[in-house]
Each structure stands twice: as structure tokens, then as C-alpha cells.
Amino acid sequence: MKKRLLYRLMPLLSLFLLSYPTIAKNTGNGKKVYADYHGVRYTRNHDGMLGRWTMYADTQKSHTGINSLCYNADNLSGDKEPYMNEIASVHYPILGIQSDLDEDYIEYQILSAKTAGIDGFFIEWGFMGHENDVLLKAMQKVAARYDFEIGVNWCDGWLYYDWITKRYPEINTRKKKTEHYVRCYQYLIDSVFTGVTAPIVKGYPVFYLFGPGATVEEYKWAYERVRIPVGMNAPVVLRRWADWGRLENNRYIPVTHSEEIDEWIGLGAVPTAWLPARVRIMDAAHPYWDNYAETEDLIEFMKPFRDSIWNNPNPVFRIKSGFVMPGMDNRGCAGWGRGHFFYIPRDRGETYRKMWRFNMANKDSLDMVFIASWSDFTEGHEIAPTRENGIRELETTLYYSSLFKEKIADKRGLLLPERLFYLRKQFALLKDSGIDIEKKQVRMLNDAAKYISKEKYKKADGLLRACTDYVLKMSSRLMKENLNLSEKDLLRDSLDKQGYDVGKSLKLYLPKDLHHKLLKYNYEGYICFEYLDEGDDFIRIYSETNRIPKDKYSVVGSIRKNKTGQWKPVRIRLYKGNIFYKENNPAFYIKGRGHVRNIMLQYQMMHYEND
């Protein structure tokens, strides 16, 4: 356990050896950098579900020969810790899977972004009451503590799909949806474009309008009905312009003019880029993607923005935004189930650097830069730290955002939010294991977070070191007990030729004396088994729970089958807070269609030595 603790608390020991030179006052020139935020991603222990971490899709329309996606994010791969969840992404987040609604994780992301020179997140948002609206409010709450801005990338197409009708059945016509558009717009004005976390550039509230929802006429009608508070400048709309273009003689030719975009300009919107076009067709060098782009294509894609927007003196362009992205690999979703695989190479970070350099060649014309994205692991264009790429994209962002803002780049802060996050989780583990955490230590962590936010990295580092010493000291007082239970300990059912049939619910019972221990002591646990991958339905594991809503928190894990005909291994984490053990009742139920075998439960119980 001590080895695992050191892994978690000291991701890069070299950071502790950094010297701390004096940094001059770092005020900058008022330009801004924002990042798109894609969600919502959940975890079983925090939310009772997984959200965008998991993905199942039929991809037979793809020309790659990849016929399906089956990402079972509950399942952990690997023979030893740190295990990795089988998530819908080609890159694995450096912290593992976390809940977007976990305040510790929100804090980590906001502080990580700030240390990289990012001023705010634009949450992908559709309408009030949607799950992304919950995320928006959760982000605003934490951002207010750290001088961070929260805006929206308004995906107003969500409002015109049937998504809104499923939530609000009375909004069932396009006319009613456009009327609701007014209410959503007013909500943004009152709750997002004002207040301490409002995204403000040159005195103007700013938001990105992704579309493809309201037409020009519908938007105009809706905007005329919203109320702009006295003293507030009208919001600036950054309207997505991402026409596809074409390939001629192996050279990408971008679209340089759009009549529809001209109509949006007539309403005061500012055309702004999104993910560059991928017009090249799958070839021998790119067998896993239906279409791809080369790095040179990205620069050609951006040139019309430079020529027609950035360097255009037209006063209608009140805020001019650059655009950068690190690359793309959407094998996590294949176009969100539409069966199309896209690829833009990261080229070991050079793609991202080239896009930044193109923007910085025109930095005097730009008021802000928009990054796509902070967290779209599923489409593979995240800049958040991953195990594969480390903090490379954050280092690039810091370097160029500092150049853009005319500030001094200070790399000392980049790894501090990760250390802070692990310490908060270790404090929680110690508390759950019966150790009272000193209030002084909690204050030190809170102060460290504030110092990170204010770029006082030396002070933050000192506090984090002290808290690390405290955690190691208190962890040495934890007693641990390992316990492995096999089928003979757990099952009363009989084995057939293919294993155990779960069609009538396979029940797992614990030894009598174990219930009390598991209820009394903290533990880390896993349920392991193999399943026969026949068909495409689910095998799910349930437990009793006291958490509400029970239909969510009673699900220990869910495994979608994918018709391979093979026996596949499963390892699923058991969360103490979700599971309630009743004596003489089954501890777990495995339900579905098909067979399982080699079932095992593994526990490591932890408690304070005075227990």
C-alpha cells in the first residue's frame, strides 16, 4: 500500500527539486484564452453511472472494417495497479477516470488550466435542465473561488433535436422550440454572461455558437425578445464556420466564402473556426480512419479566417478569436455512432505547436484564442494531461498563451494541481479509514489551492510538501488485511459445461463474519470473473445499496457483449459507499444472458491500528 501511495503522491519527483526564482509582476495585456469543455463524464462512486466514459456503437458504415465499438468503462485492464478502465478514448487521462461533478476534480482541472494560461472553459451546453446545465453550475461554483471564467459553447442543435422533447414533452414543435430558445438565451444572459465567472473579452460577454440549431431568422427572432440588462454590452457570438473544402492535386483547398455565414455576420456574429476538415480518404498509411487530414491542411483551413476575419477592419467583428487544436482520433466514438472514423495526427505535439504559431503570427489582430478542446477524450482532441502525452499540451499552451498575453511563462505550477488532487483524495481515504485529519492540514491544502490560482507556486509547493509528509506519516498507522474469495466461498449454484448461467441471476454470498468487517472497515475491493462474449446484450452486477437513487447506485458494473465468441476477463471496482451488505442475503447478483466462470472477490481492508 505504501508503494501505491508513493505512486499517487509523487507523479514526478523531479518537481520537488525545482528552484524558485523571483518572478516579476505578471499582468499581461488583457487578451484571453478559452478552452472548450466536453462532458458529462461520471463515475460509479460519485454518480452511480459512467456517462461519456463508455460507448457502444454499430460502425458497419465505416470503410475501415471496424464493425462495432464496445468500450466497457467499468472493466479494469492490467495485471496489477494502476489498472486502467476500458474507456471510450485512445488516450487515458493521467488521473484515471473521474467524475466531472466531483469538486476535487473540477478544482484540479480549473487550476491546471490556469497554470497553462487558460482563462476559462466554455461548457458544451444545449438547454436548461440538461445534464450539461448541471455541469455548468458545478463549474461556476468552483471557478468563483479561483478567478476563472465559465462560458458556453452553445450546441443549440440539442434544443431542436428530440432531446428537448424527451425532457419537456410539451416542447414538441419547431415553433415551441424557438420560443424556448428565448428562455434559454435569457438564462445565459442572467446566469452566465453576468457575475464573477462571466467570460468577458474587452468588456463584452462572449460565447461560441456551435449550431446547427436555430436558423438565421429564428436566431434573430429570439434575440429580439431577450432583455439585456442596463450597463451590459450585448454578447458577442462566435459562430462556428467549419465548411469541408476539397482536395485538388493532393492539396487541400478550403472554403473561402459562405452565404449563410454572411447572413450570420449581418446579425453581428463573428465567424470562428472549429475542427479542421478531414478530406483525405483512408489509405495504407491510415487504415483505421475513413478520413484524415495532414498538418498542412490545418493551416490552409485557417487561412480564410486570417484573410476575411482577423485582418478585416469591419467593426462588426467586435471580438476576433483565433483557434487551435492538438490533433484528433475519434476511435472512441466513430462520429458518435455514425460509423465514421476521423484522424488528425498529433505528430508528438508538433500539430498543436504549428497551429499556435499560425495564430501568433497574427496575434496583434486577435482578442482571444479558442482551444478545442480541454476534455474531449472521446473524439481525441483533448489537451488535458494523459498517460500517453503527459503535460506536453499544457506546456505548449502555457508557452504560447504567455506570448499572446505578453506575460512571463512560469512552468513551475503545471504539476501542482495534480499533487493537490491526490492529497485531497488521500485525506478522504485516511478519514474513511478512521483517522481524524487535522483541521490545520485541510487549511493548508485550501491555501495551497489559492496560491496556485494566484501563481504563487513556491508557497503552494511548500504547503503541498508538508501535507505529503503528513499523509505518509498517518498512512504508516493504517493496518491492512488482504482477503481473496473464490467460487467455493461465494456460490451455491452448480457449474455447467459452459460455466455459470446468469440468466436467472447468479447470487454471490459472503462468509458470515465478513459482513460486519466490510461494514465497519474501509476497503478497496474488486469483483473478477470471465464471461463468454456471445451476443450483444449486457451482463450486469448489482448489490444492495442505501444511496439514492437506488436504481443507479445498486449497479456495481455493466458489461456489454460484442459477439466475439471468446472468454473475456472482467475486473470491476467495488465502492464501499455504494454497497450495503446484509447478513444472510446475497452480497452481489450477476444478471443477464450467458455464462460466467472463475469468479473471485478481492478485498484489502484498512483501518486505524487503534481499532
Tell me if 5 is assigned to some domain. Answer: no
Q: Do 394 and 434 sit in the same domain of this protein?
A: no
Other CB atoms within a 10 A radius of the CB of residue 265 amount to 20
Angle at 110 between CA 85 and CA 379, to 5 degrees: 45
CB atoms within 10 A of CB 380: 22
H or E stretch at 600: strand 595-608
Angle, alpha carbons 108-114-408 (nearest 5°): 140
In this structure, the answer to whether residues 311 and 432 fall within a common structural domain is: no
Closest CA to 136 of 182, 165, 87, 101: 101
Residue type, 73: A
Same domain, 136 and 243: yes
Residues 188 and 290 in one domain: yes
pLDDT of 495 reads: 74
Q: Does one domain contain both 454 and 512?
A: no
> Is the same domain home to 239 and 321?
yes
Among 435, 456, 477, the domain boundary falls at 477
Q: Is residue 340 part of a domain?
A: yes
Residues 378 and 472 in one domain: no
What single DSSP character describes residue 534? -
Instruction: Verify that 370 and 468 share a domain, yes or no.
Output: no
Residues 434 and 529 in one domain: no
pLDDT of residue 610: 64
Nine cell digits for residue 558: 455493466
The grid coordinates of residue 124 equal 458544451
Question: What domain range includes position 467?
Answer: 415-477
In a domain, 12, yes or no: no
C-alpha 310, offset from chain centre: 31
| Pair (544, 574) in one structural domain | yes
- pLDDT score of 27: 67
Under DSSP, the state recorded for 274 is -
Task: Write b or e for each residue in 50-60: b if 16 or more Cβ atoms lie within 10 A of its Cβ, otherwise e.
Answer: bbbbbbbbebe
Question: In angstroms, rounded to a whole number, what is the distance separating the alpha carbons of residues 508 and 556?
Answer: 13
Judgement on whether residues 197 and 103 belong to the same structural domain of the protein: yes
The number of domains in the chain is: 3
- Whether residue 280 sits in one domain with residue 244: yes
Dihedral sign of CA atoms 153, 155, 156, 162 in order: negative
All residue ranges of the chain with pLDDT < 70 are: 1-27, 610-611
Assess if residue 9 is contained within a domain: no
* Strands 291-292, 342-344: pairing kind: parallel
For 557-595, write each residue's pLDDT tens digit. 999 999 999 999 999 999 999 999 998 899 999 999 999
Is residue 10 assigned to a domain?
no
Cell numbers of 261, please? 455565414
CATH number of the domain residue 86 falls in? 3.20.20.80
- Give a yes or no: residue 318 inside a domain: yes
Q: Which three cell numbers stand for residue 180?
A: 424556448
CA 47, CA 101: separation in Å to the nearest integer? 8
Rounded to an integer, what distance in angstroms lies between the CA atom of residue 163 and that of residue 174? 13
* Boundary-marking domain end, from 437, 455, 477: 477
CATH number reported for the structural domain that contains residue 577 in this entry: 2.60.120
Q: Is the pTM of this model over 0.85?
A: yes
User: Does residue 321 form part of some domain?
Assistant: yes
* pLDDT at site 498: 81
Q: Per the domain annotation, does 106 fall within a domain?
A: yes
Longest dimension (CA), the chain: 79
Q: Single out the residue in 361, 384, 409 at which a domain terminates.
A: 409
